[in-house]
Amino acid sequence: MPEMTYREALRAGMAEEMERDEKVLLMGEDIGVYGGTHLITDGFLDRFGKKRVIDTPIAEGGFTGAAIGMAMMGLKPVVEMMTWNFSFLAADQIIQNAAKVRYFSGGQVEVPLVIRGPNGGGVQLSAQHTHSLENMYGHFPGLKVVSPVTPNDAKGMMLTAIRDPNPVIFLEAGALYGTKGEVPEGDNAVEFGKARVAREGTDVTLISYGRQVNLCLRVAEKLEEEDDVSAEVIDLRSLRPFDSETIVESVKKTHRAVAVQEQWRWFGVASEVASIIQEQAFDYLDAPVVRVSGAEVPAPYARNLELAAFPSEDAVAKAARQVLYQEVSA
Amino acid sequence: MPEVIMPKMGDAMEEGTLLKWLKSEGDEVAEGDPIAEIETDKVTLEIEAEDSGTLAQLMVSEGQDVPVGEAIAFIAGEGEEVPEKGGGGQEAEAEAGGDDSGAQAQTATEEQPSQPQGGGAQPQAADGAQADGNGHFRASPIVRRLARENNLDLSRINGSGPAGRIVERDVRAAMESGTAQAGAQADGGGAQQSPDGQAQTAVEAPEQPQGQIVEMQGFQPARIPEPTGVPGTTLVEPTRMMRVIGERMTEAKQHVPHFYATVEVRMDAAMALRKQLNEQLEGEGVKLSVNDFVMKACAVALRNYPNLNALYTTRGVELHEKVDMAMAVALDQGLITPVIRDLASKGLATISRESKDLAARARDGKLKPEEYQGGTFTVSNMGMFGVESFTAIINPPQAAIVAVSSIEKRPAFDDAGLVVPASMMKLTLSADHRIANGRDGALYMSEVKRTLENPVLLMV
């Protein structure tokens, strides 16, 4: 199976779908001539021409609104947010129009729109450029929200996102653009609403999405080596629709769960995970579900502080040991 | 199979404490036999069997709080099967649920209020009530599930989790060693509990006292400190009655806007009249107390102030024509307020007789619920303790309460301006400002004062 980077996988997904469907077009700041700030769309302008690869002004509300209009008229725009932080300026369009037009029109008008870009932090971009917005967009009915972590899912979910007749918030793990993974040739579309068991285990379930999945996998290895504990790691990857079944089945097997997220604790995905588990697997729990989250501060710039502000291997391992009652506090 | 339920011994009663089982599981009981002793917020009493048969299941442990209407035991009639040990609990529960016949138990003799047997609710050692004990342990959900599925008795498992929580590994270890099998232990009663459904019912009950205490602590429980535990201290757990008094008084002080009005009453005329009456009525065994005069005066004066003889209700202030006078009676374990009905229309001799009777039976814990419920106004007298004055907390939903202090000899001025000895007594009204205003309270108290200072008015 060919190996490619996360960046190449995104590129492959968009390019293949643009070849397949001429209604697909790209929009965003510096995506054309410059090839994209993160070089995701490098070469697209030459390959697909400026009608389908549109450099926009620095006006997120304007070009997102324009893309919504295009989608309503039948095109399939893929909009790049240079980072998801800038989507605050487009949030009115996304939330008030993209998420609601289909509902308002009684299903007569669809909005087949993808908005994609790097989400979260980890690369020292400081407080204003280090938001994780999955809980914010996941809150609104009418939007789909996905957060792939492997190159395979990056491509496969991009294919699904572009084909979906609804607006899709496509949250890329910006810190992982250069990471490599196997991606099968051809159409590897990944269905939304299906979590991925990234590692099988029997003693504790670590639940995450985005780049924290890799953290959980490292912790799982560490727990195996140091404590002889078998940890299962679940990559949610699709946050809306959400796959309750996979986590519930896993907890029914392991009886313990830790939910890990980079974003802040309050009102986050991990809280949703914990709630679903207690609703649907209460009688199987051996310990309260523990959440590991980012520190309650705006993301720091300094590397040491940034590391301290995000979930660490130690923090996740500690949480796992806590639900395993290996560290019992009175 | 008839169930024995926690009876409702008054409108305000929501749960009772099972103090003591008087019968063991498996015992034959005849209709009318006392089977358990329960404590409500007011009294301690025995529950009688309403059916004859075999006491099939004791569903709660001693010391446990049980909501009104919930089954505490089952009585199997002739030919009825005692529930299977393995899985009978749930069946029995289901059956109980479908049994609409209501209370199968009635109260018999009422006894002196006594303290619950510690808060700890020790499972009875002799009988099979051990499995009921599953509710008294911290255990994770999977542990309870495993206990049900494998017929385990959690009381035989030590918890290794935080605060002694029994966690899965503890159960797995116990299952391997076989030490926690319910019913493994031979016992005299021969009645093993199914750890099944009962374990579930027992699970929630122990949480309730905690919840109540939190409520009693009001809205800032964080400020209540942990016990210091230093030498020379003793930790006393509040009785059910003290908890209830605490809750009600906290609620009253927090939610009822009290205002107060104090008058000083010259009691010489009333004392003289009392002496005269008591001398005349001695042969009939009548001995009027000062409090009888005060209650009568308070009740008579209420005729012109109906908004102080009132209840604060959900749909407005309910004015009462009759004065059902509650009188506070101190008990060793707390206090209770028996009610003299329609006191304003009763003569002093009747009031005296009734108040003595109620007070005596209150101290013996033998009041019936209807004798201490439904008052419309309260008098609290601490005169016998030598207090100069005090203020009382309103007893909701009543509008007002009068605090009666001691009679003290004081110098006073007569009409000629000469100093003369006078017997003075302070009365303090506490009234609900949602119902009455200061002027009503002041005028009412001056009317009480006028009546007591001219005690012939009590005769008309």
B144 inside 8 A of chain A by CB: yes
- For residue B16, give the 3-state DSSP assignment: strand
> Are B99 and B69 within 8 A, CB to CB?
no
Question: Does A3-182 match A196-323 in CATH topology?
Answer: yes
For chain A, the domains span 3-182, 196-323
Whether B409 and chain A come into contact, CB under 8 Å, resolves to no
pTM above 0.80, yes or no: no
Say how many CB pairs under 8 Å bridge A and B. Answer: 33
Task: Pull the structure tokens for residue B267.
Answer: 């009691």
Q: Which CATH number fits domain A3-182: 3.40.50.300, 3.40.50.970, 3.30.70.870, 3.40.190.10?
A: 3.40.50.970
B460 Cβ contact list (under 8 Å, min separation 6): none
Q: Do B140 and A285 make contact, defined as CB atoms within 8 angstroms?
A: yes
Cβ–Cβ below 8 Å for B142 and A328: no
Digit-coded pLDDT (tens) for A105-128? 999 999 999 999 999 988 899 999
| A196-323 CATH, one of 3.30.2350.10, 3.90.1720.10, 3.40.50.920, 2.40.440.10 | 3.40.50.920
User: Which of chain B's residues have a Cβ under 8 Å away from the Cβ of A254?
Assistant: none
Q: Long-range contacts: B153-156, Cβ < 8 Å, 24+? A: B153/B180, B153/B181, B153/B182, B153/B183, B153/B184, B153/B195, B154/B180, B154/B195, B154/B199, B155/B123, B155/B130, B155/B131, B156/B130, B156/B180
pLDDT, residue B395, reads 93
Of residues B104 and B426, the one with the higher pLDDT is B426
Tokens representing residue B269 in the block? 């005329």
**Using the beta-carbon criterion (under 8 Å), do B160 and A286 form an inter-chain contact?**
no
Q: What domains does chain B contain, in order, with CATH numbers? A: 3-209 (2.40.50.100), 256-459 (3.30.559.10)
Q: Is B197 helix (H, G, I), strand (E, B) or coil?
A: helix
User: Mean pLDDT, chain B, as a whole number?
Assistant: 78
CA distance B169 to chain A (A): 9
Output the furthest CA–CA distance in chain B (Å, rounded): 98
Determine contact: A284 vs chain B, CB below 8 A.
Answer: yes
Confidence of residue B183 (pLDDT cuts 50, 70, 90): low
**Would you state the pLDDT for residue B133?**
44
As for the ipTM of the complex, it is 0.74
What are the tens digits of pLDDT across the range A163-187? Answer: 999 999 999 998 999 999 999 999 9
Q: Catalytic: A60?
A: yes
In the predicted structure, residue A221 carries a pLDDT above the cut 90 = yes
Whether the per-residue pLDDT at A29 is higher than 50: the answer is yes
pLDDT band at A21 (very low <50, low <70, confident <90, very high): very high
Query: In this predicted model, what pLDDT tens digit does every residue of B374-416 receive, in sequence order?
Result: 999 999 999 999 999 999 999 999 999 999 999 999 998 988 9
Partner residues linked to B313 by β-bridges: B316
Q: Which residues of A touch B157 (CB under 8 A)?
A: none
Question: Are residues B41 and B102 in contact, defined by beta-carbon separation less than 8 angstroms?
Answer: no
What confidence tier does B87 reach under pLDDT thresholds 50, 70, 90? Answer: very low
Residue B433 annotated among the catalytic residues of the structure: yes
Taking the C-alpha atoms of residue A78 and residue A97, their distance in angstroms, rounded to an integer, is: 16
* Contact with chain A for residue B172, Cβ under 8 A: no
Check residues B45 and B189 and name the one with the higher pLDDT: B45
